[in-house]
Structures are given as C-alpha cells and as structure tokens.
Structure 1
Amino acid sequence: MNTSPWSHHSFTAPFTTTGRAALVKAPPWHYAGWLLNVAFRFDADAAAALVPPAGPTHRDGLRALCRLAGLYGWP
C-alpha cells in the first residue's frame, strides 16, 4: 500500500494526478549513443582537387569540423 502524501503519478514535469501530461513516460529508458567530433585545418587548394565544386568558395575559412553521431533508443 502506498502511504506517500505525493498524489502525482507523473515521472517528469508537468506533474499531474493522472500522469497523462508528463513529457516523458516513466522509466525504464534504454538509450545508447556515440559522438565523434574531428576538427582540422586544411589547405584549400589541395582540398579542391578532392571534392566536387559546390558553387562559390570561401578561401578564408581553412578550418573544418566533421561531427558524426548516433543515438539509439528502444522500449
């Protein structure tokens, strides 16, 4: 028997007595993920030979960031 004075059934806000307005359902939650950031500098003339033309180029931005990410969830 639950003797807690807390009458709300939500796990996350907004807390309600029915629990139907919660933004996230009650746990258990199962998530896995990964993130890889690679920041590098490059020579624009050397890189131009490796990639197809993409319209106007900006030769002053010789820095780049490549972000790879994966997030997986299951019930």
Structure 2
Amino acid sequence: MSDRRMKFPYTFSAKIAQFPLRFYLKNQWVWRYYFISLVACSPVFIAISRLANSPANKAKWAEMKRKELAEHHH
C-alpha cells in the first residue's frame, strides 16, 4: 500500500485496501467463534450430507416421488 491514502476511498478496491481487517479479527469475538464453530460443526454437516446422499436414501426418495406422481395422474 502506498503512503498516499485517499481521504475518502470511493472505489471498491480502495475500500478493500483500507479496510482494517486485522483489527476486526483481533478485537471481535464473532470472528474467533465463527472459525471454531466451523471446525466443530463440520463433522456433523458431513455426516448429514453422507446420509442424505446415500444410495439407499436416493432410492427411497425416488420411490416416494414416483408414488406421488402416480397419485396426481389418477
């Protein structure tokens, strides 16, 4: 970053360049707990995704949709 800063950063890139990200990461609890919760919740989300996308569940879902479609056509 150069020494000549804009008095008001009116371009998007100037706003990004002058944003005090380090200050926010250091002084706000939300950022710290966001990353901790992301790590803590990832195994749960992965397990749910694997269960939802399993071949048995996909077959069950297709059968339910087939029955639903058959009811609407009669």
Return the TM-score normalized by structure 2. 0.26
Bigger helix fraction:
2
Bigger strand fraction:
1
